[in-house]
Structure 1
Amino acid sequence: MASRNRIFDLLRTINVASCQCPAHGYRGNVHVTSATPVKDYAFEMKNSTIRYGLGVTREIGMDLVNFGAKNVCVMTDSNLVSLSPIKSVLESLTKNGINYQVYDKVHVEPTDTSFKDAVRFAKNGKFDSFVAVGGGSVMDTCKAANLYYSDPEADFLDYVNAPIGRGKPVTVQLKPMIAVPTTSGTGSETTGTSIFDFEEIHAKTGISHAALRPHLAIIDPLHTLTLPQTVSNYSGFDVFCHALESFTAIPYNERGPAPSNPALRPTYQGSNPISDVWARFCLQVIQKYFTRSVYKGDDIEARSSMHLASTMAGVGIGNAGVHLCHGLAYPIAGNVKTFVAKDYGTEPIIPHGLSVVVTAPAVFRFTAASDPEKHLEAANLLGANTTGKKLADAGAVLSDVILKYMDAMKIENGLSELGYSSDDVPNLVKGALPQQRLLQLTPLPQSEEDLTKLLEDSLTVY
């Protein structure tokens, strides 16, 4: 205890003696205490190792050799299994003498049932590493398969986020995993998050822990050339909202409680100076390349830029987190009725990026009061002229620019075009309430009445 007190005495001495000129950002004496603070006071930056470049997939077999891999589980979906991204991965594995088995039954917008099927496949193989080739659904499924393969005695709900599951921290050693994203949206290749539809409650939830992060992310823009226009559109709006939400999330030093042990600091920590850098980068890329990447599928510059932005947004959200757009999106997607999205098969589905952006205009009108300057900055980065705009107008300005992008990309006119009416709003609110991990990252507290109004305001948006 004596040595601990001496450390705090030294910190106080340094604080008093340090330079206090304006050039060094002096903002008054910092109170140092040995007590555990109520709110957090630190943030961490963790992400997968990222390798980016045209044609870089050819190196994946060598990476697995370097990992010492002998028997690899390759996961993809039925749409991708015959396309060039999976072919290039398997060619590299074969060339480098890697044995593998392919699981191609990943469910787009996975459920707890589809997760469990993938886990069974993994447990039936003696795998020493995992490779995911596809969009967020594939990568999230592969993360879950790796987790439950590595902890075969775990109950499924052990690792699912509270309050739906038990939120158990991951203490087992997972196998090496390489992620090869083929869409530009989720950023799952860099995050420790695995999302699925929990069928019992008709809402999305997930597993969140740093241990789930892939060891390596192979970011090869060539794979995006196979993306249909609608998929590029909806997944691009996932990047769009990742950047906006992480940028406007509650600041890391206003989120609480502070962890009693650094190992307990949550994956989603709130906005911070480093995640803000990634968010600004992504918003600038979106302003320049999003429209081109959707309407000019062979524009390799635009699609390469959006592919990199997706990964950078993943780094941001993987540490800062997302908030209301995603919290409301989970019941919107989970309660789908008859809406069938083009290029997503024949079953009813509300793609993730669509379910997220449909409430974005209302959400950012609501959150603007928390930090008007930051909301105006976001609008400016997306191309809005904010000269002379008042702080009180921040929500309207950002909402308007979001609507311009939605209109340009022909996004459906609100929840009503996705099959919902005002009668469905109470059930959607009920599905959003368990998403406390996300709702608590919103920079303003929300009541059930607030959530109700946000959803009602999103029934039509134009």
Structure 2
Amino acid sequence: MLTKTVPTLRTRATSLLRTLQNHSSACPCHACGTPAPSQSASLSAARRLAVAAPIEKEYAFEMAASNIRYGNGVTREVGMDFKNLGVNKIAVFTDQNVLNLAPMKTAIAALESEGLQYEIYSHVRVEPKDPAVKDAIAWAKNIAPDAYLAVGGGSVMDTCKIASLYEAYPDAEFLEFVNAPIGKGRPVDRKLKPLIAVPTTAGTGSETTGTAIFDLVSHKAKTGISHRALKPLLGIVDPLNTRSMPSSVKSSSGLDVLCHSLESWTAIPYSQRVPRPTNPILRPAYQGANPISDVFSFEALRLTVKYLPRTIADPDDTEAQEKMLLAATLAGVGFGNAGVHLCHGLSYPISGMNKGYKHPGYQVDYPIIPHGVSVAVTAPQVFRFTGPSNPDRHLAAAEVFGVDVSNAKPESAGEILGDAVAEFLVKLGDQPRGLADLGFTRDDIPGLVEGTLPQARVLTLAPSFQKDDEQKREDLAKILDRSMAY
């Protein structure tokens, strides 16, 4: 059975990618848009129905992603894109590291060549905390641009998304749209201004998704906002823009791609997610594994396992860099619709409770656990835990890492994939080999567990995890305990 699974997925991936290349028009779901303000009454009714209706499993999934333009040098076209949209005043978001690099210079030159007005916000914080995000929101409200341009990594793109959202809702409280139960999880029912995203790292896939993540200081954990309305209008995926990435950034951002693909591939099926929404606007962006996200997630995994080690070993391997950027975008489409689960849920308090660890190679003046590092550090144990939920999928993933699974027993699937992930991480080199290397001890486990439990957006998609809170605490504690070292 397994030997048929992987070739079938590869065939589907190839077929779908060819279709995308041959049809440049926007996906029909882009035309669905977000509902107009007049629909607020029906939204309220939908929420009331959600309380009274019996809990039913989901029966449908939706596919949404940004339009994507991929190719060497396509950043030069961004000025024409804004001109074609009929906008004039652009709010440009970046960070201090990217501000003086080639991707930013190319983007600004493209705006100037079309005579467009722009203002630059360059104070985006890498792995931003909510005070930094609020500062960006205040700047955007003051500028009131016609459109947005984000040039940078995931932190830049996510900060830009949030600034655009709250500029459209100037009277909203900060937690209004933040994912429940930490925030109110309000759906976005207004059309946001156009946002074009230009990634400079091969990792987050944020150029494709409606997700934006930040650290909430009061909770000592990451959280975020997820809604399809936040996805960029266009992602400019230009391989030339990743050539300035330091080796440490290539490695940590690549680990994010690895976990995006593995988690979305092993998430619960969309048809098992509860509750079924009473109104389409209430259907979450993260829906569970589905036949379309599977294609993107599996191909992203295959590319990452093959090319991430090459990008780290040889800074001049342009082919590997191009393939990793493509993998990041493919994974973004996959997890942006299927979702992620335990690696990401655990990563949020790992980052938020950082005791002072500063990852080598990051040019910042504050402690930092890069997002890719925080998700990967528990990955071997996470997939050992989730293995029983779907042995075939775990074995198919292990085979991508080069494991011979022809005689593997289904009950060993989690151990096999967990070992394969651990070996892959060790061979990459220069990575923390467990939570202890990040400065954590077993005394920190209860706090990390309590920081993970509120991450309902992702935990609801975790296989083998749909239990009562006490059992969830025990399972999380075991995963964390066994992740102290690998």
- TM-score, length-scaled by structure 2: 0.87
Q: Which amino acid aligns with 1:242?
A: H
* Structure 2 residue identity aligned to 1:413: R
Q: CA deviation at 1:382?
A: 2.4
Q: Which residue type is aligned with residue 482 of structure 2? A: D
C-alpha displacement of 1:37:
7.4
Mapping for residues 34-53 of structure 1, pairs under 5 Å = 38-53=56-71
2:414 is the alignment partner of 1:395: yes
1:457 partnered with 2:482: yes
Q: 2:354 aligns to what?
A: 336
Give the secondary structure class of the aligned counterpart of 1:205: strand
1:111 to 129, 136, 141: 129
In structure 2, what residue type is equivalent to 1:339?
Y
Q: Distance in 2 between matches of 1:61 and 1:262?
A: 35
- Name the residue aligned to 1:362: 381
Residue 416 (structure 1) aligns with:
436
Equivalent residue letter for 1:394: A
* Residues 323 and 441, structure 1, Cα contact 8 Å, conserved in 2: yes
What amino acid maps onto 2:315 in structure 1? G
Cα-Cα RMSD: 1.1
Report the equivalent of 2:80: 62
Mapped partners of 1:295, 1:85: distance in 2: 23
Distance apart, 1:346 and its partner CA: 3.4
Following the alignment from structure 2 to structure 1, what is the Cα–Cα distance between the partners of residues 335 and 97?
27
**Counterpart of 2:365 in structure 1: which amino acid?**
T
From the superposition, tell whether residues 452 and 45 of structure 1 become closer, same or farther in structure 2 (CA, over 3 Å).
same
**CA shift for structure 1 position 36:** 8.2
CA offsets per residue over residues 74-121 of structure 1, 9 Å max, x none?
Answer: 000001100001000001000111110000000000111011000111
Tell me which structure has the larger Cα radius of gyration: 1
Equivalent position of 2:456 in the other structure: 436
The residue type equivalent to 2:386 in the other structure is T
The answer as to whether partners of 1:53 and 1:219 remain within 8 angstroms in 2 is yes
Following superposition of structure 1 onto structure 2, how do residues 20-35 of structure 1 map, counting pairs within 5 Å? none
1:187 aligns with 205
Equivalent runs, 1:151-162 vs 2, <5 Å: 151-162=169-180
What SS does the aligned partner of 1:197 have? strand
With 88-97 and 35-44 compared, the bigger mean Cα shift is at: 35-44
Contact 2:187/2:281, CA 8 A, preserved across alignment: no
Instruction: Please say if residues 187 and 310 of structure 1, whose CA atoms lie closer than 8 Å, have aligned partners that are also in contact.
Output: yes
State the Cα distance separating 1:332 from its structure 2 match. Answer: 0.2
Q: Which runs of 5+ in 2 are unaligned?
A: 1-52
The range that moved more, 98-107 or 446-455, is 446-455
Choose from 319, 343, 347 the match for 2:337: 319
The answer to whether the Cα contact below 8 Å between 1:415 and 1:459 also exists between their aligned partners in 2 is yes
TM-score by length of 1: 0.91
Which residue of 2 is the match for residue 306 of structure 1? 324
Q: Partners of 1:36 and 1:300 in 2: how far apart?
A: 54
8 Å Cα contact 2:144-2:167 kept in structure 1: no
Aligned counterpart in structure 2 of residue 383 of structure 1, from 373, 383, 402:
402
Q: Determine if the alignment matches structure 1 residue 137 to structure 2 residue 155.
A: yes
* AA in 2 matched with 1:389: A
Which residue does 2:447 correspond to in 1? 427
**CA displacement 1:285-326 (0-9 Å, x = unmatched):** 122211001221221110000001100100011100000000
| CA distance, structure 1, for counterparts of residue 425 and residue 268 of structure 2 | 25
Tell me, which stretches of 5 or more residues in structure 1 are unaligned? 1-34
Q: Is the Cα contact below 8 Å between 1:36 and 1:258 reproduced in 2?
A: no
8 Å contact kept, 1:197–1:205: yes
State the SS of the aligned residue for 1:230: helix
Structure 2 CA distance for aligned equivalents of residues 147 and 352 of structure 1: 23
Paired residues, number? 427
- 1:203-237 Cα shifts (integer Å, max 9, x gaps): 00001111000000000000110000000001000
Distance (whole Å) between structure 2 residues aligned to residue 42 and residue 430 of structure 1: 32
Runs of at least 4 residues off by over 6 Å: none
Structure 1 equivalent of residue 310 of structure 2: 292
Do structure 1's residue 86 and structure 2's residue 104 form an aligned pair? yes
